[in-house]
Amino acid sequence: MSNIRLICHRPGFRRLGIAHEASKVWPADRWTDEQLTIFDNDRQFEVLTGGDVKIEPDDAVVPIEVEIGSLDADDQRRLDAIDEVIFNLVAADYGTEGQPLIGTVVDALGFVPMPEEIVASEKRLDPDATPGDWGSTLRADAIAAAVHKFKEDDFTKEGIPKIPALQKAIGFKPTPDEIKVATPK
């Protein structure tokens, strides 16, 4: 097989763990047949093979390095990253109430998404679904995941997470009860 050119119609769109450039040539052995099928079936990509596909020198391509977690909540690249993670979850990645396990989502994304972003992603991926009322569980999981990553100076002297630090980390204002539940003992 010759080299493979991936054309991404939305540069920065994430698929298979990479924020893709508008056009990039990959060595033939870089992607498995299963991965190429994923690209082929995704309307955001075109897969080109053949004799014309040549690898550009490394300095011809400028890599896209975007900190997805720092983007605004309505930034399409952030939405795409969340959608990709939610789309690739397996049964073991869901809790008993049908909610995605926040730890799994955070590990895959590298940042703590707002619960509303996860719910919106699931709705985008399956518009006909009627998820149960598990917003409070997602909120609690998001708070717990954020608090787990806090440093000592993110807590008050009493060991309670500081509200501004917590709100910045999770993207929403937690209730006092939610903070109480998330406070490490």
Profile the chain (185 residues) by mean pLDDT over runs of 10 residues.
79 81 83 88 83 52 55 79 84 72 85 84 70 59 83 88 84 79 67
The verdict on 97 and 17 lying in the same domain is: no
The verdict on 92 and 51 lying in the same domain is: no
The verdict on 131 and 53 lying in the same domain is: no
Strand partners, 45: 8
Instruction: Output the pLDDT for position 129.
Output: 58
The verdict on 89 and 131 lying in the same domain is: yes
At residue 84's C-alpha, the angle toward residues 92 and 151, to 5°, is: 75
**Are 101 and 141 spatial neighbours (Cβ–Cβ below 8 Å)?**
yes
Instruction: Output the pLDDT for position 53.
Output: 56
The verdict on 141 and 56 lying in the same domain is: no
The verdict on 99 and 173 lying in the same domain is: yes
58 in helix, strand or coil?
helix
Instruction: Output the pLDDT for position 97.
Output: 65
Residue where one domain finishes, among candidates 60, 78, 105: 60
The rounded Cα 68 to chain-centroid distance in angstroms is 8
The verdict on 45 and 86 lying in the same domain is: no
Instruction: Output the pLDDT for position 59.
Output: 46
Which residue in this structure is represented by tokens 């009860």? 177
Give the residue numbers spanning the domain of 140.
Answer: 69-182
Instruction: Output the pLDDT for position 40.
Output: 87
- 153-177 burial code (b ≥16 CB/10 A, e <16): ebbeeeebbeeebbeebbbeebeee
Euclidean distance between the first and the last CA atom of the chain, given in angstroms as a whole number: 58
The verdict on 77 and 164 lying in the same domain is: yes
Report the C-alpha gap between 123 and 113 in whole angstroms.
15
C-alpha to C-alpha distances, 127 to 86, 105, 116, 124, nearest whole angstrom: 14, 20, 15, 6
Report the C-alpha gap between 27 and 53 in whole angstroms.
10
5 in helix, strand or coil?
strand
The verdict on 33 and 14 lying in the same domain is: yes
The verdict on 113 and 178 lying in the same domain is: yes
Instruction: Output the pLDDT for position 87.
Output: 83
Residues with Cβ within 8 Å of 5's Cβ and at least 6 positions away in sequence, in order, are: 23, 24, 25, 26, 47, 48, 49, 53
Question: What is the tally of structural domains in the chain?
Answer: 2
The verdict on 85 and 154 lying in the same domain is: yes
The verdict on 34 and 84 lying in the same domain is: no
